[in-house]
Structure 1
Amino acid sequence: MQILAVCGVKNSGKTTLLEKITAHLSKEGIKIAVIKHDGHSFVPDRPGTDSFRLKAAGAYGAAVFSSQCFSIVKDIDPPVTEADLISFFPEADLILLEGFKNSPYPKIEIVRRGVSRTPVSNPDGLKRCGRHLPPDPGNSPADLAAGGHSDFRLMYSAFSLE
């Protein structure tokens, strides 16, 4: 199993880049898991679902499963670590982390003019940093992820599965 983190500030293009990398590599038969860090509180369930109702009633955790997938919502204390989350995906060939700027894992960072002020990642493990990419129509996150910009190719080549 290999791990790569994609870092950058909000709206720098992390999710778009990960989406394109995931689509490309999964077509090649690579089993990919993605773990996203959210720096803010988020609601992992929808109002009206049974699991939401049971959690709202006071359950500290709720799980829903079928023969194809499962979901667990659980209050955590102490906070979960990336290692805890990685352990949920032992069969993955590649785990992509969105965020995790201070992690020791190999990482690439997207730094975009007009969006980012400065790189935010801990330099430990930083493989590539796509810098000063102007937010114009030719360099949108989707265009970068499509491989139309040389800095994207540098970021993409930062991590090899071989």
Structure 2
Amino acid sequence: MQYLPKLIAVVGGKHSGKTTVIEHLIAELKRRGNRVGTIKEMVRIPSLDTPAKETDRYAKAGAETIVALPKEETVVFIKKRLDIKEVLPYLKNLDYVIFEGFESQPAIPKIIAAKTIEEAERYIDGSTIAISGLIVDSHIDGKTLALGYPLFNAVTEADKLVDLIEIKTLEFTD
């Protein structure tokens, strides 16, 4: 039996603070000695590959997987969209994987990044564990919304948010 990373998703609307929340979660998880990865859902972009460059040409010729080795990173293009269960085995050496998006995945605990209470309400479901994002600028004094979830400023309270994540995330096995 092999353990897979603990999973957490940060979901919310455009310009709600998702990326900032994730950046601070990564930094705090790393400070605690964890290995962290991210998966970003990009449903509006068909490909990150550059049209007419070599890697794109290899794919058009029929290659199913293309590995590019620039000076400071490794990029693997798999020329089909994988579902989460197919991606996780590639990340088994990590302690945590943070998803940006994927709000339709009910089994993954979620932090909602929102600008307003109304926006937060659109994303709340049974897997919600906390609320963060730009909403904290207007509701920081209460620490809890009428919605019943703790509210965290990810910039100044990343440690408290990660404490909650450590309690609420589950270890998965393959």
TM-score by length of 1: 0.72
Share of identical aligned residues, percent? 19
Query: Where has structure 1 moved over 6 Å in runs of 4 or more?
Result: none
Q: Provide closer, same or farther for how the CA distance between residues 37 and 131 of structure 1 changes in structure 2, counting only shifts above 3 A.
A: closer
The structure carrying a bigger helix percent of its residues is 2
Match of 2:130 in 1: 128
Query: Structure 1: 5+ residue runs without aligned partners?
Result: 139-143
The secondary structure found in structure 1 opposite 2:113 is strand
Q: Provide closer, same or farther for how the CA distance between residues 154 and 42 of structure 1 changes in structure 2, counting only shifts above 3 A.
A: farther
Query: Structure 2: 5+ residue runs without aligned partners?
Result: 141-152, 170-174
Match of 1:72 in 2: 76
Question: Using the alignment, how far apart are the partners of 2:65 and 2:7 within structure 1?
Answer: 28
- Name which of 90, 104, 110 aligns with 1:107: 110
2:17–2:114 contact (8 Å) kept in structure 1: no
2:10–2:110 contact (8 Å) kept in structure 1: yes
1:8–1:119 contact (8 Å) kept in structure 2: no
Following superposition of structure 1 onto structure 2, how do residues 8-157 of structure 1 map, counting pairs within 5 Å?
8-47=12-51, 49-57=53-61, 59-65=63-69, 70-76=74-80, 79-103=81-105, 104-113=107-116, 117-121=119-123, 123-130=125-132, 133=135, 144-147=153-156, 155-157=161-163
Question: How many residues are paired up?
Answer: 150
RMSD, aligned CA: 3.4
1:112–1:131 contact (8 Å) kept in structure 2: yes
